[in-house]
Amino acid sequence: MRGSVNSAPQAAIAVPTGWGRWWTELSILVRIQFATIRNSWVWIIVMATLIPMTTIIFMRFFITDPSYENIVQILAGNLLFGIIVMGLNGLGQEISFQKHQEHFTFYASLPISKINFVLANMIRGLMSTVPSFVILLFLGQWMFDVRLHVTPALPLVALLCLTSVVGVGIILGFWSPSHQLTNILCQALMMLITFLSPVMVTADQLPTVVQWISYALPTTYAADAMRQVLLHGWTTGVMLDCLVMLAFSVLSLFIVGKLVSWRVNR
């Protein structure tokens, strides 16, 4: 034996704590995540923009004489749908992919926090969602020839929309028994949540039973907040919706923190 049995072990680097460490950890994890898309980000934005843009174009040509409220409903629904696609479907699939590619083996062998790993994935998702969100916002106004309230409250509402819906995607991604199953579940759940809440239509257009179900889904408050903020800017109603979305976000983070184990396979 070359190292003595009784000698003290080589000292590990004391991993710093506090905000500085948190920031270092997050920024490096984001850079690792960004590396996966740095050569293909244009295509990712195109793909993220394609579905909502096609829907907007489709509605522009097939809905005759829509009212201002109808136009805002269409645009807000499609903007929110883009966020749901990324937050629930995209994040769930991405985390599942990383799990089955054994990326967790690398991450779990380093002193990093699970929440920072999730945040890094969300920020990577935002890198493609934000440009498509902005493109849709301006393209929609131009196509329907309307002026929306683009205020500083809009990014806050969009961010809360995202954080309130990501929880399910994250849990599905970490749980993922197989990548194929997670793909199917994420897509099915995304469509279910979207159509069980007034994302594409107004609440009064939904059947009564679905209306009751919709109160339990964060997308209901996200859709209302998005619509109201585009129609009127920051109002008390938007603030209340934001508080409910904040509660959903905190609950999601709590559940992810408590239930999801990424270091240990049981």
Residues that bind other proteins (CB under 8 A): 1-16, 21, 24-25, 28-29, 31-32, 35-36, 38, 98, 101-112, 263-266
Name which of 7 and 64 has its Cβ closer to other proteins: 7
Name which of 41 and 234 has its Cβ closer to other proteins: 41
Q: Which are the contacts of 62, defined by CB distance < 8 A and separation ≥ 6?
A: none
Name which of 16 and 155 has its Cβ closer to other proteins: 16
Smallest gap from Cβ 90 to other proteins, in A, equals: 17
Name which of 103 and 232 has its Cβ closer to other proteins: 103
Smallest gap from Cβ 184 to other proteins, in A, equals: 19
Neighbours of 75 (CB within 10 A): 25
Given phi > 0 = left and psi -120 to 50 = alpha, else beta, which region is 64? beta
Compute the distance between CA of residue 190 and CA of residue 168 in angstroms, rounded to an integer: 10
Helices (H), 101-152: 103-108, 114-144
Question: What is the number of residues in the chain?
Answer: 266
Smallest gap from Cβ 145 to other proteins, in A, equals: 43
Name which of 216 and 264 has its Cβ closer to other proteins: 264
The H or E element spanning position 6 is none
Smallest gap from Cβ 253 to other proteins, in A, equals: 18
Question: Contact, 233 vs 149, CB < 8 A?
Answer: yes
Smallest gap from Cβ 29 to other proteins, in A, equals: 8
Name which of 2 and 147 has its Cβ closer to other proteins: 2
Tokens 């904040």 — which residue? Answer: 246
Q: Which are the contacts of 55, defined by CB distance < 8 A and separation ≥ 6?
A: 74, 78, 81
The H or E element spanning position 12 is none
